[in-house]
Structure 1
Amino acid sequence: MLTLAWPWLLLLLPLPLLLRRRVQTAVSGGQLQLPGIRAYTPTQASRHQQRPLAQWLLWVLLLLAVARPQWLGDAIELPTQGRDLMVAVDLSGSMQIEDMVLEGKTVDRFSVIQKVVSDFIERRAGDRIGLILFADAAYLQAPLTQDRRSVARYLTEAQIGLVGKQTAIGDAIALAVKRFDNLENSNRVLVLLTDGSNNAGNIEPDQAAAIAAKRQITIYTVGVGADVLERRSLFGIERVNPSADLDEAQLQRIADTTHGQYFRARDPEELEQIYHEIDKLQPVSREPLTYRPQAELFYWPLGLAFMLALLLSVGIPRPILQGRSS
C-alpha cells in the first residue's frame, strides 16, 4: 500500500501560481519597481518563463519528496506471550582485562559479553528486551522493546569507559526498578553482569535489591572473569587471580534477596548457562499488537527532481521542456 506520511503538504501545490499572480498584479506600466533593484520588465520575465512545464514538474517532485511517500507492507502480528527482561552490563575499566577465551583467542571480558549476550538477545523471540549500561553511573541505553536487533546493536557499539571507570551496581538495579514500575502482568527480570564490586553510585546494592524484591523483580547476577591468569614476569610465568575484585558474596545476596540466581562466568560456556534458566520462566500474555513494516520512498521523487534541475541548469531544447502545443 502506497501512502504519504504528510499528505497535507500537497496543499502547497498551487503556491507558485499564487505567487505568479501576485507578481503580475504588482507590475504597473510594463515595469516592476522595487527599491534598489533594476527595473524588471515583462520581456525580461518572459525569458525566465520559457520552460513552465519543467519548472512545474520540478515543484511537484520536490513537494512530493517532502510529503514522504512510503510503502506499507502487510500487517504482522507480534507475539502475544513473552517475558520482560532488562540486561545491565558493566562498562567499568576492569572489563578490558584479557582473561577470557573466545573462539580459540584470548580476548577481554567485554568482548565475550558482547558476543554471548548479543546472541542471547537475538534469540529472545517474543520477549521484550531493555539495555542498561553502567560504570560511574547507570544509563538506559534501550527501553523495553521487541526490536531485539537494535538492542543487540547498541550493545555491540558500546565501548569500555563510555560511562566511566568505576562500578555502580546499586544504581543499575535502581534504574531497572524504575523502568519496571509502570508494567503490569510482567515477569520483571533483570540480568546483571559485572566483574567487580560496587564502588560508585548513590545507592547501595543491597538496598536496591530490597526495593526490587518488594516490586517483585527477579535479579539474575553474573560474575564475569577467569580465576587464573598466567602472565610473564622477570621471574618467569606467574599465576594471578584476575577476579580478585569480584564481590561474589554481594552478587549472591542480591540474587537471593530477589529470588533469582547467581552465576559464575569464567568462560563463554558458563555465561550461556543463564539461557536455560530464563527459558524456565513462564511467559506472560500481552495485548495483541500488529506491526506494518514501512519503506521510505522519498528518494525517488527527490532523485528525479535533482536530475530535472540538472537538465534545466545545463539547458534543454525548449520543445522538450515546453511540450508541443498545437
Structure 2
Amino acid sequence: MNAWLAQWQAAMEMLAWPIALLALPLPLLLRWALPPARQSSPALRVPYGHRLDPVAQGASRGVRGAGPGWLAWLAWAALCLAAARPQVLGDPVQPPRVGRDLMLALDLSGSMSEIDMELGSRAVDRLTAAKAVIADFLSRRDGDRVALLVFGRRAYALTPLTLDRESVREQLDDSVVGLAGQETAIGDAIALAVKRLRSQPAEQRVLILLTDGVNTAGILDPLKAAELARSEGVRVHTIAFGGEGSLSLFGFRLPMPGAGDEIDEATLQRVAELTGGKSFRARDTNELAGIYAQIDRMEPIRRPGKALRPRLERYPWPLGAAFVLALLAFAWRGRRA
C-alpha cells in the first residue's frame, strides 16, 4: 500500500497542474444531470408498440457501447492529461554564475570625520563621501557575495559574505566614525578579512580596503598581514582616501591644515603589490567614484552555479493523441451514418 502511494505521489509530482484531472468525469456528470433529448421526428403509432420497446432499448445500448463512444472517451482523457501538463526531469545542468567574493574594509577612525570632501555641491566629511560611493558600487555588483568589515582601533566584521546587498548597505549606513575606535588598525583589518575569505575558492578572494591614515593600532603589521593574505590567495586593493590640505567652498579653496599629511601611501602600495592587487589614491569624491568604477570593470570570475534539473514539458504528446482520437471518432460516426 505504501509503495502504491509513493508511486502515485511521484506521478502527481510529474504534473504541473494535477487539478485538471478532476475534469475526467465531467461528461458522465453532464449526461446524468441533463435531461434526455426529445425526439422531434414523426412517429408511427401501432397497437403493439410495447412489444418493440425492449428491442429499441437493446439497440440503443448497443449504439452507446459501440462505435465512436470509446474513442471519444479516450480523446477526452488524453485532453485532460494534456491540461495537467505532464513533465519530466531533464539532465542536470550547472548554469555559470558571474561574480566574486568581495570583502569591503572601511576605515572608521577619528580622521574620517575630516570635512574636506564635497558631495552634491556641499561640504561633507570623508566617511559620508565614502559611504555614498560604496553604496553606489554595491548597486552594480549583482552576482557578487559581499561582506562589510570596519576597523579603527580594532577590526570587526559587520556582515558575512552574502548575496543580500541590501543588508550590507544598511550596515554601511549605520556605521559612524569611532564605532571601532579612534585609531587605525590596518594590519588587523587585513588579517580578519583573510580569515573570513580563507574558506572561499582562491581565485575569488578579494579585499577592497579604504583608509585615510597610517597603521597606529592593532597586533599585526600591515606588511605582515599582506604576506598572510598572499599565502592565502587574497588579492588586496588599497585605496588611500583624503584631501590635499584644502577644500573648495563656493568656488574658493580653503586651507585645511594637517589634511592629507597622514596617509601612508607607500605601505598601502606595498600591500597591494604583495597580494597581486592594485593601489589607488583618491583626493576627492569624484576620484573615489572613479576608482570603484574601475574595480567594478575588472573581469569577473565565472563559477558554476547550483546544479539544476530542468523540467521538460510533455503535454504535446497527449494533446496530439486527443486530436487524433477525436478525428477517428468523427470519422467512425460518419461511416456508420
Q: TM-score with structure 2 length normalisation?
A: 0.59
- 1:262-281 aligned at under 5 Å gives the runs 262-272=279-289, 273-281=291-299
Tell me: CA distance 1:105–1:183, structure 2 relative to 1, closer, same or farther (3 Å). Answer: same
C-alpha RMSD over aligned residues: 2.2
Which residue number in structure 1 is paired with residue 167 of structure 2? 150
Contact in 2 for aligned 1:137/1:168 (Cα 8 Å) = yes
Looking at structure 2, the residues matched to 118 and 230 of structure 1 have their Cα atoms a distance apart, in angstroms, of 23
Match of 2:301 among 266, 283, 303: 283
Looking at structure 2, the residues matched to 79 and 154 of structure 1 have their Cα atoms a distance apart, in angstroms, of 29
Which residue number in structure 2 is paired with residue 197 of structure 1? 214
The amino acid across from 1:94 in the alignment is S
- 1:1-326 aligned at under 5 Å gives the runs 80-184=97-201, 186-229=203-246, 238=255, 240-272=257-289, 273-288=291-306
Looking at structure 1, the residues matched to 138 and 207 of structure 2 have their Cα atoms a distance apart, in angstroms, of 13
CA shift, 1:289, in A, is 7.5
Looking at structure 2, the residues matched to 275 and 283 of structure 1 have their Cα atoms a distance apart, in angstroms, of 17
CA shift, 1:154, in A, is 0.5
User: Higher strand proportion, which one?
Assistant: 1
After superposition, the C-alpha distances for 1:293-324 in whole angstroms (9 at most, x for unaligned) are xxxxxxxxxxxxxxxxxxxxxxxxxxxxxxxx
Looking at structure 2, the residues matched to 230 and 152 of structure 1 have their Cα atoms a distance apart, in angstroms, of 28
CA shift, 1:187, in A, is 1.6
Looking at structure 1, the residues matched to 282 and 307 of structure 2 have their Cα atoms a distance apart, in angstroms, of 37
The amino acid across from 1:287 in the alignment is G
The amino acid across from 1:210 in the alignment is E
User: Higher helix proportion, which one?
Assistant: 2
The amino acid across from 2:293 in the alignment is Y
- Runs of 4+ aligned residues of structure 1 deviating over 6 Å after TM superposition are none
SS of structure 1 residue aligned to 2:190: helix
Q: TM-score with structure 1 length normalisation?
A: 0.61
Looking at structure 2, the residues matched to 91 and 78 of structure 1 have their Cα atoms a distance apart, in angstroms, of 39
Looking at structure 2, the residues matched to 167 and 238 of structure 1 have their Cα atoms a distance apart, in angstroms, of 25
Tell me: CA distance 1:287–1:171, structure 2 relative to 1, closer, same or farther (3 Å). Answer: same
Looking at structure 2, the residues matched to 108 and 120 of structure 1 have their Cα atoms a distance apart, in angstroms, of 19
Structure 2, gaps ≥5 residues long? 1-93, 249-253, 309-337
Tell me: CA distance 1:238–1:88, structure 2 relative to 1, closer, same or farther (3 Å). Answer: closer
CA shift, 1:88, in A, is 0.2
Count of residue correspondences:
210
Looking at structure 2, the residues matched to 204 and 289 of structure 1 have their Cα atoms a distance apart, in angstroms, of 42
Contact in 2 for aligned 1:190/1:220 (Cα 8 Å) = yes
Looking at structure 1, the residues matched to 235 and 296 of structure 2 have their Cα atoms a distance apart, in angstroms, of 11
Tell me: CA distance 1:287–1:202, structure 2 relative to 1, closer, same or farther (3 Å). Answer: same
CA shift, 1:274, in A, is 2.8
Contact in 1 for aligned 2:100/2:145 (Cα 8 Å) = yes
Contact in 1 for aligned 2:96/2:303 (Cα 8 Å) = no
CA shift, 1:239, in A, is 5.5
Looking at structure 2, the residues matched to 126 and 134 of structure 1 have their Cα atoms a distance apart, in angstroms, of 26
Contact in 2 for aligned 1:122/1:152 (Cα 8 Å) = no
Contact in 2 for aligned 1:187/1:284 (Cα 8 Å) = no
CA shift, 1:84, in A, is 0.9
